[in-house]
Amino acid sequence: MTLPLIVLVGPTATGKSGLAVDLALALGERGRPAEVVNADSMLVYRGMDIGTAKPTVGERRGVPHHLIDIADVAQRASVADFQRLARATIADLRARGVVPILVGGSALYTRAITDHFEFPASDDDVRARWEAELERVGAHALHARLAQLAPESAAAIEPGNGRRIVRALEVLELTGGHAPAIPEWTYELDEVHQFGLTLDRAELDRRIDLRVDQMWELGLVDEVRGLLDEGLRDGVTAIRAIGYRQVVAYLDGQITEDEARAEVQRATRRFFRRQLSWYRRDPRITWLDAASGTAVQDILTALDW
C-alpha cells in the first residue's frame, strides 16, 4: 500500500510551516512517522533565513525537514531540479515507511512535483543572452518584445516578472513556441492529498505587514548585507526573492529603507493574491480555515486516520 503524500498549500503567512510540524507530530503519536519536504524555492538557500521566514530548528520541533539549506545563494535553482530532488525524497520517505508532508507556497513548484509536468528545452547560452538583454533594457521592455513574438504567452506573464519573461523567450527561441499555461490537473504521483489554508484577506494583509516588520526587527538588512559578501548578486534566482531585491535596492542607494520595507509589504500582498488565484483553480484541493484551530484534525479525518 502506497503511503499518502500530504500536500499543504496556500498563500504566504497562513501558517503552513507550523501546521506541517503539528501534523507530523500528530501522525507520529498515531504510530505513523512523518517528515516535511520543502517546496519553497527560496528555502533551499543557505543564509536566506529571515527574509524567507525559514522555520528555525526550534520551530521544527524535532521533525526532519528536507530540501532546506542545500544551495549557496550564487547557485541557480530551477523548477526541473526541484522536481527531481523532491520526487526522489518523497520516494525515499515512502520506502522507509515515512509519510511525506510537502509544503509550498508556489503552485508551479508543488504542481511540478505532484503532477504530470514536462519541461521544455533549455540552453545556458541562449538564456544568458536573454538575461543580459533583461539587464540592459529592463523587464517591461523585454515583456513588450515577448508580446510581439508570442502574445498569448506575454498575456499570462506579469510585465515585471523578468525571470519568467526570459524563460519564455528562451523556450520560444529553442522550440519555436511557448505554452503560456501549465498542464491540466493530472497527478503523476500516487495517493496525493492536497489541503489548502485560507484566511480572511484583511487578516492576511495584517499578518503580512506584521511579518515584514518582524523581519526588519530580526535583522533582514544585515542578513542581506552579509549575503552580498557571499555572492548574492551573482545568483540568478536568490536575488530576485521578495524582500531581498528590495533590500539590495536600499543598500545600493536606489530607495530609502522605509521605501524598501513598504515595497516588500506591497510585493508580498501582490504575491499572495497571485498564489490564491492559482490555487483556487485547482479543484483537487480541500480548503481549510487557517484560523479554525482544527486543521490537523480535519486532515486526519479526511485521511480516515
For 248-282, the pLDDT digits (tens) are 999 999 999 999 999 999 999 988 888 888 888 89
Task: Tell me how far the alpha carbon of residue 157 is from its chain's centroid.
Answer: 17
Give the residue ranges of DSSP H helices in 101-196: 107-114, 124-137, 139-149, 151-155, 162-175
pLDDT in tens, 140-167: 999 999 998 888 888 878 788 888 898 8
Question: Do residues 34 and 99 make contact, with C-beta atoms less than 8 angstroms apart?
Answer: yes
Q: Which amino acid is at 175?
A: T
Beta strand 34-38 pairing with 65-66: parallel
Contacts of residue 198, defined as CB under 8 A and 6 or more positions apart, other chains included, come to 10, 11, 14, 276, 287, 288, 289, 290
Measured in degrees and rounded to the nearest 5, phi and psi for residue 240 equal: -90, 0
Supply the pLDDT for residue 71.
Answer: 94
Q: For the chain, count helices (H), then strands (E).
A: 13, 6
Supply the pLDDT for residue 163.
Answer: 82
Question: Among residues of the chain, what percentage have pLDDT more than 90?
Answer: 63
Assigned C-alpha cell, 83: 522536481
Which of 65-74, 154-163, 250-259, 294-303 is the least confident region? 154-163
Q: Name the strand (E) or helix (H) holding 196.
A: strand 192-198
Cα dihedral value 271, 273, 279, 280, nearest 10: -170
Assigned C-alpha cell, 14: 497562513
Please give the Cα distance from 302 to 305 (Å, whole number).
Answer: 8
Assigned C-alpha cell, 25: 507530530
Tell whether the model's pLDDT for residue 127 goes beyond 70.
yes
Tell whether the model's pLDDT for residue 232 goes beyond 70.
yes
Question: Do residues 151 and 141 make contact, with C-beta atoms less than 8 angstroms apart?
Answer: no
pTM, two decimals, is 0.84
Mean pLDDT of the chain: 91
Question: Do residues 82 and 102 make contact, with C-beta atoms less than 8 angstroms apart?
Answer: no
